[in-house]
Structure 1
Amino acid sequence: MTVEEIQLTEMDDDAIRAFLANRKMGVLGLPTDEIPYLLPMSFGYDDAETLYFTFVGGPESRKRGLIEATDRAVFLTYAAESPFSWESALLTGRVEAIPDDEWDDIVPVLEAAWRPDVIEAAMETEEVSVYRFSVDEWTGYKHTGLPPGFDVDESV
């Protein structure tokens, strides 16, 4: 099968929004001097063009240092049901810390975010920061093709 034969559909803005609304995890890419630093991250989504990340840990955290040293990042989220049914969205955007006094405004988004139990437990005793990822651009692709050799008999 060649790339030309792959049945890819580029998602429009509404499809990307719907996809993000149903995802809870992805990979945040932060720039470094050498290679990007990739982090699996849970996120909250405001149904528009903003994601929210909760960081747990003190100021010595590498991810906290990298995110505070940049204002640009990328984020990838995806779903892969099978080799013939998958979709992904790649977002590029601006990242900024949200001051504690603004957290009340985004409580519903933060409460809807999925977090592993270990993170939930750490939030009780560790320093917590919330970051806003404002999307500048996004692209999404969906593949729902049939496996090679599977022909649909349209005469039936």
Structure 2
Amino acid sequence: MTLDLESEMSAGEVDGLLGRHETGVLSLARGDEPYAIPISYGYDVDGRCFYLRLVSTPESEKRRFLASTPQSRLVVYEEDGDVYRSVVATGDLREVPRSELTVDHVVQYGDAKRPLFEIWGEVERDLDVGLYVLDPEELSGRRVEVGR
């Protein structure tokens, strides 16, 4: 009988996984109402925080959730043969108003990948592009080796 071996990832392993990827699933919650979407992100390894450009339309569910200061969780994962890794970041998602952008913000958003999930039927002028930072209160990773 084989057992799966599960272990915590080190901070370096977490940073490595987040640096290798640019997409994940962002879950937002207000009260007991959840909302989850695929997103692309930029990760600042020094600050250990995420930079997101989130695009929404005027009447979208995403915009309603973002306006409510929801609880946030970002999940990034990978599978490599018999090894599965996942990282979960939990914290407040904060919008950065354009009037408050600093040089550091501009550098981070410049390094962030263009949103990969931009498929819109709406006229582009109706889209709102919000700049957000997720500075996790908790950042953890798990590794599972199957059948070891």
Structures share a fold, TM > 0.5?
yes
Aligned to 1:131: 132
Q: For residues 84-103 of structure 1, what are the structure 2 equivalents within 5 Å? A: 84-101=82-99, 102=101
CA distance in 2, matches of 1:117, 1:73: 19
Give the deviation of 1:90 after TM superposition. 0.9
1:40 to 31, 38, 52: 38
Give the deviation of 1:25 after TM superposition. 0.6
Aligned to 2:10: 12
Pairwise CA RMSD:
2.6
TM-score, normalised to structure 2's length? 0.80
Q: Is the 8 A contact 1:72 1:94 kept in 2?
A: yes
Q: Is the 8 A contact 2:30 2:68 kept in 1?
A: no
| Unmatched tracts of structure 1, length 5 or more | 149-156
Q: For residues 2-151 of structure 1, what are the structure 2 equivalents within 5 Å? A: 5-47=3-45, 48-82=47-81, 84-101=82-99, 102=101, 104-114=103-113, 115-116=115-116, 118=118, 125=125, 126-145=127-146, 147=147
Give the deviation of 1:10 after TM superposition. 0.6
CA distance in 2, matches of 1:104, 1:41: 24
Code of the residue aligned with 1:42 in structure 2: it is S
Give the deviation of 1:78 after TM superposition. 0.3
Change (3 A) 1:35 1:57: closer
Identity among equivalent pairs (%):
27
TM-score, normalised to structure 1's length? 0.76
CA distance in 2, matches of 1:68, 1:43: 20
Bigger relative contact order, structure 1 or 2 (CA pairs below 8 A, ≥6 apart):
2
Q: State which structure, 1 or 2, has the greater radius of gyration over its C-alpha atoms.
A: 1
3-state SS in 2 of match to 1:108: helix
Give the deviation of 1:143 after TM superposition. 2.5
Give the deviation of 1:95 after TM superposition. 1.2
Q: Is the 8 A contact 2:69 2:93 kept in 1?
A: yes
